[in-house]
Structure 1
Amino acid sequence: MLARTAGITAFTLSAAAVGAQGNSPYSRFGLGDIAPNTHIVNRGMGGVSIADANQPQDVRYSDRLRVNFSNPASYSSFFGFGQARNPKKLASGRVLLDVGTYLENKTLREPSRADKFTSSDLNISYLQIGIPLRKGWGLAIGLRPLTRVSYMVEDRRRIFNPPAQGGNNIDSVYTEYSGDGGSFLPTIGTGFAIGDLSIGANIGYLFGSREASTVRYFENDTVVYYHGLQRTNSNFGKVYFDFGAQYTIQLNKARGQFLRLGATGNLKQNLNATQRVTIGTFTLDPNTALTDTVYKSSNDRGTIVYPASYSFGVLFGGDLIKPGPEAVEKRNQRWGFWQIGADLVMNKWSQYRYFGASDAVADNMIVRVGGQIRPNLTQAYLSRITYRAGFHAGKDYISAGGNMPLWGVSAGLGVPFGNFSNLTRNQITTVNLAFEYNNRGNNQNPLKENNFRLSLGLNLSDFWFVKRRYD
């Protein structure tokens, strides 16, 4: 079996074979490339999300109405009106529907080469539903991808005898590495508030599949060789859970200023897995019947260790109120707002195991910083748009070819849409956009990767559970 990292410095990327599909050789490590794992609102803020939540007292800011699945404690802030006789029970609640997608354009370069490879692909990012149950208690149901495996890499080289055997030229050899698959996470989660403290948890089923193939050809005009194939298919899945907490400190109630602390994480979890391995030779097409099967196994049972992850965040924000003695009295005129925050994300990828084997992955840490501002809700339309910006920096979890620096910058918009019908006056619709540039590796790494990502999210909300009254 070829070493997992030995040939990466000699990889030549095959654009023709992949077409418009995403192609990242680094996705062959671990469970694959990690999919964008924050809400599109937060992506525009550099990924800041751990201390972010809806503001029930400021429901007029429609872009705050969203499902922040990065921290289930935020579900406690889903908006609802309490009953007159029992404020804890809801007379009505605002149900949320969040859908996100993204278009990614990726560029790969070897530092020693002038040419490059580019690919683009469109992916679904998440589907989330948020439902308020009681005052300070919410429920969220969702589905999102966690990782993606997609690569096609070629390696062409000459083979020579060892110096002790003369070192003469043997032949040309062509090796093709390919992989496909990914993992997904459907979840149901809840969060509830106890005073200024909110806690929450998600439970779901983490499942996925992975196929990795290595095909080797001897390129010779006079001698016919059989070609070699090694293919591994695996499927995995098990119940998954994560947890979170948030604590809000009111700094200046008159100006709506607050400081919120957040923490979230998941423990190391063992996923049940099955594996099929085929090693053999073929003549023309590796997808047809093999000429000779050297080794074959099916339904080998094992375990994939999914690593622990912990994140901590802080968010500071408030209202934008015009200065003057009448400012406090006019807060009901819907001024704008601002927020700024930071996250620290730590992933324990050194815990990862695939059927007992380690991989070229390592612990990493990422810092995220960002913010957003809406100038005013009552003036010109451009002042009603929310503007976001942020950045992140740290170390990538892939250790093949040495430690890889990781950094990126982002900007975003929250564009509200009004309702012009009395039949839909309770509905709020917001389109969120995020523009991201991410860089992976530098000239000291065998392969540099950067991408431009455009994310589009649609947020819909409406009042449900409204009891009809008749005069």
Structure 2
Amino acid sequence: MIKKIILGSLFLFSLNTFAQEGTASPYSFYGIGEVKFKGTIDTRAMAGIGILNDSIHLNLQNPAALSSLKLTTFTVAGTFSPGKFKTASEEEKAQRTSFDYLSVAFPVGKIGLNFGLMPYSSVGFKILKETSTNAKRYFGDGGLNRFFVAGSYQVTQKLSFGLNVAYNFGEIETSVSEFKSGVQFGSRELNNSRMSGLVITTGASYKTKIKKYDFITSATFSPASNLNSNNTRELAKITYNALGTENVWDTRDIDVEDSKVKLPAKFTIGSGIGQDKKWFVGFESGFQGKGDYSNVVVENASYEAASKISLGGYYIPKYNSISSYLKRITYRAGLRYENTGLILNSKSIKDKAATFGFGFPLSGFSNINFSYELGKRGTVDSGLIQENYQNFSVGLSFNDRWFVKRKYD
């Protein structure tokens, strides 16, 4: 049964991944769009800390944790994201439903292996700027997807190392339409970029006992890498009909050089303490170099080094309780603060959020996880937009024992 579920889900999500518009954020206007969270739902509920390594929960953030798995794990997840966007004088709402990840991992002795698919970034904005003499409409959609293969080796009972090799690929399309008073027709510039490139992440995890407590230290590093960007541009005359649909004619292709987009180096380190199957609390810091998105030139936008700090953990009243199902539920929560690295109108764009969630055990070692995130990105100062967002996420994790030779048929 589990294999039928996996095959059906693989087919469904392989179709949806390449068609979705995974964000409505106006901040996806910049660079390669809104870079998505790359962990599982259970870690998202703990503010995104990627420290934990255990036998049944898959860690997508640190490949070193894979060698701790004892069962084959298939996991898939999605998120519903309603948001509210505010300026000093206006307010708008939008919502999106998006695919988060699909992944399979399995242990082979001291080795853990993992492969999967997830979005890397999403673009999805509609912005109107009007003055007394002209109006500009900005549209954008698309994004990058990531296929990854990862492995981990347990050097000792306490120390593991891992490697993740990811191939990022996708297409981003943006357009700007301008109408000037006294001019009969408007103009439109349509830009398309097809991007692809490899990203490598190394990881290490160290777990030891301090009296009766488990102490874990975790670190990952991704060196700077490049995305090859194949660019095209089209100019056209436009008008809008009564339904607001564009009428386009007199199109002209403009030669645009191909380019490279530099993804900055990233380093994370974190530590935590707890008791297995009872509770855990951890702290993680992330640092990222300055991005170079020179293929996208935007007025009043620049970039700086980014950073993030997260505090989170979980609590299980009694994981093996027979009399009470509520005592077997995992309760998770966390806080996150991030400097995104984007500067607009001389203002650094910050992102802060509170999270909580629940892990409900299913038959065997499988589980279903829910996460809720309430956050705020940006500010209404200096003519900017403040984004108040919510993320309702659900993830399924199926665990089974594969690749075991049966004694009896």
Is TM-score (shorter-chain normalized) higher than 0.5? yes
Cα deviation 1:270-300 (Å, max 9, x = unaligned): 121210012343355896553364x6126x3
Provide the C-alpha distance between the structure 2 equivalents of 1:259 and 1:230, rounded to a whole number of angstroms.
Answer: 55
One-letter amino acid matched to 2:210:
L
Provide the C-alpha distance between the structure 1 equivalents of 2:228 and 2:380, rounded to a whole number of angstroms.
Answer: 39
Q: Is the 8 A contact 1:343 1:368 kept in 2?
A: yes
The aligned counterpart of 2:151 is 190
The aligned counterpart of 1:364 is 306
Q: Secondary structure at the match of 1:45?
A: coil
Q: Secondary structure at the match of 2:202?
A: strand
The aligned counterpart of 2:344 is 400
Q: Is the 8 A contact 1:21 1:120 kept in 2?
A: no
The aligned counterpart of 1:380 is 324
Provide the C-alpha distance between the structure 2 equivalents of 1:155 and 1:128, rounded to a whole number of angstroms.
Answer: 41
One-letter amino acid matched to 1:129:
V
Q: Secondary structure at the match of 2:42?
A: helix
Cα deviation 1:360-407 (Å, max 9, x = unaligned): 332111110011010102241111101011101132222113112321
Q: Is the 8 A contact 1:365 1:394 kept in 2?
A: yes
Counting only pairs closer than 5 Å after superposition, residues 320-339 of structure 1 correspond to structure 2 as 336-339=277-280
Cα deviation 1:406-462 (Å, max 9, x = unaligned): 2110111010123xxxxxxxx432010111101112343511111011110000011
Q: Which runs of 4+ in 1 moved over 6 A?
A: none
Counting only pairs closer than 5 Å after superposition, residues 67-106 of structure 1 correspond to structure 2 as 67-79=58-70, 94-106=71-83
Q: Secondary structure at the match of 2:341?
A: coil
The aligned counterpart of 1:441 is 378
Question: What is the CA distance between 1:306 and its match in structure 2?
Answer: 1.3
| CA spacing shift, 1:144–1:450, aligned 2, 3 Å | same
| CA spacing shift, 1:216–1:407, aligned 2, 3 Å | same
Q: Is the 8 A contact 2:64 2:203 kept in 1?
A: yes
Q: Is the 8 A contact 1:39 1:69 kept in 2?
A: yes
Provide the C-alpha distance between the structure 2 equivalents of 1:292 and 1:357, rounded to a whole number of angstroms.
Answer: 23
Q: Secondary structure at the match of 2:215?
A: strand
Alignment partner for residue 209 of structure 2, among 228, 250, 254? 250
| CA spacing shift, 1:291–1:405, aligned 2, 3 Å | same
How large is the RMSD of aligned CA atoms in angstroms?
A: 2.1
Segments of structure 1 that go 5 or more residues without pairing to the other structure are: 1-19, 57-64, 80-93, 159-171, 320-335, 419-426
Segments of structure 2 that go 5 or more residues without pairing to the other structure are: 1-20
Alignment partner for residue 417 of structure 1, among 362, 380, 386? 362
| CA spacing shift, 1:123–1:292, aligned 2, 3 Å | closer
| CA spacing shift, 1:355–1:216, aligned 2, 3 Å | closer
Provide the C-alpha distance between the structure 2 equivalents of 1:148 and 1:180, rounded to a whole number of angstroms.
Answer: 7
- Of 181-190 and 402-411, deviating more is 402-411
Q: Secondary structure at the match of 1:397?
A: strand
One-letter amino acid matched to 1:206:
N
| CA spacing shift, 1:297–1:461, aligned 2, 3 Å | same
One-letter amino acid matched to 1:43:
R
Cα deviation 1:55-88 (Å, max 9, x = unaligned): x4xxxxxxxx122110000011111xxxxxxxxx
Provide the C-alpha distance between the structure 2 equivalents of 1:428 and 1:341, rounded to a whole number of angstroms.
Answer: 24
Normalised by the size of structure 2, how large is the TM-score? Answer: 0.87
Counting only pairs closer than 5 Å after superposition, residues 109-128 of structure 1 correspond to structure 2 as 109-110=86-87, 112-113=88-89, 115-128=90-103
Cα deviation 1:9-51 (Å, max 9, x = unaligned): xxxxxxxxxxx984222111111012122211011111111x2
One-letter amino acid matched to 2:293:
R
1:39 matches 2:30: no
Q: Is the 8 A contact 1:179 1:213 kept in 2?
A: yes
Provide the C-alpha distance between the structure 2 equivalents of 1:297 and 1:390, rounded to a whole number of angstroms.
Answer: 49
| CA spacing shift, 1:137–1:21, aligned 2, 3 Å | closer
Aligned pair count reads 379
Counting only pairs closer than 5 Å after superposition, residues 237-316 of structure 1 correspond to structure 2 as 237-252=196-211, 255=212, 257-284=213-240, 289-291=248-250, 293=252, 296-297=254-255, 300-316=257-273
Q: Is the 8 A contact 2:237 2:248 kept in 1?
A: no
Question: What is the CA distance between 1:357 and its match in structure 2?
Answer: 6.2
Provide the C-alpha distance between the structure 2 equivalents of 1:431 and 1:98, rounded to a whole number of angstroms.
Answer: 9
Q: State the structure with more CA Rg.
A: 1
- Of 177-186 and 273-282, deviating more is 273-282
Q: Is the 8 A contact 2:45 2:332 kept in 1?
A: yes
Provide the C-alpha distance between the structure 2 equivalents of 1:303 and 1:23, rounded to a whole number of angstroms.
Answer: 26
Alignment partner for residue 117 of structure 2, among 137, 143, 166? 143
Question: What is the CA distance between 1:240 and its match in structure 2?
Answer: 2.1
The aligned counterpart of 2:389 is 451
One-letter amino acid matched to 2:216:
R
Q: Is the 8 A contact 1:66 1:98 kept in 2?
A: no
1:317 matches 2:274: yes
Q: Secondary structure at the match of 2:67?
A: helix
Provide the C-alpha distance between the structure 2 equivalents of 1:470 and 1:243, rounded to a whole number of angstroms.
Answer: 41
The aligned counterpart of 1:130 is 105
Provide the C-alpha distance between the structure 1 equivalents of 2:67 and 2:72, rounded to a whole number of angstroms.
Answer: 13
Provide the C-alpha distance between the structure 1 equivalents of 2:279 and 2:123, rounded to a whole number of angstroms.
Answer: 38
Provide the C-alpha distance between the structure 2 equivalents of 1:467 and 1:284, rounded to a whole number of angstroms.
Answer: 66
The aligned counterpart of 2:165 is 203
Alignment partner for residue 341 of structure 1, among 282, 302, 318? 282
Q: Is the 8 A contact 1:29 1:361 kept in 2?
A: no
Q: Is the 8 A contact 2:216 2:272 kept in 1?
A: yes
1:52 matches 2:52: yes
Provide the C-alpha distance between the structure 2 equivalents of 1:283 and 1:470, rounded to a whole number of angstroms.
Answer: 73
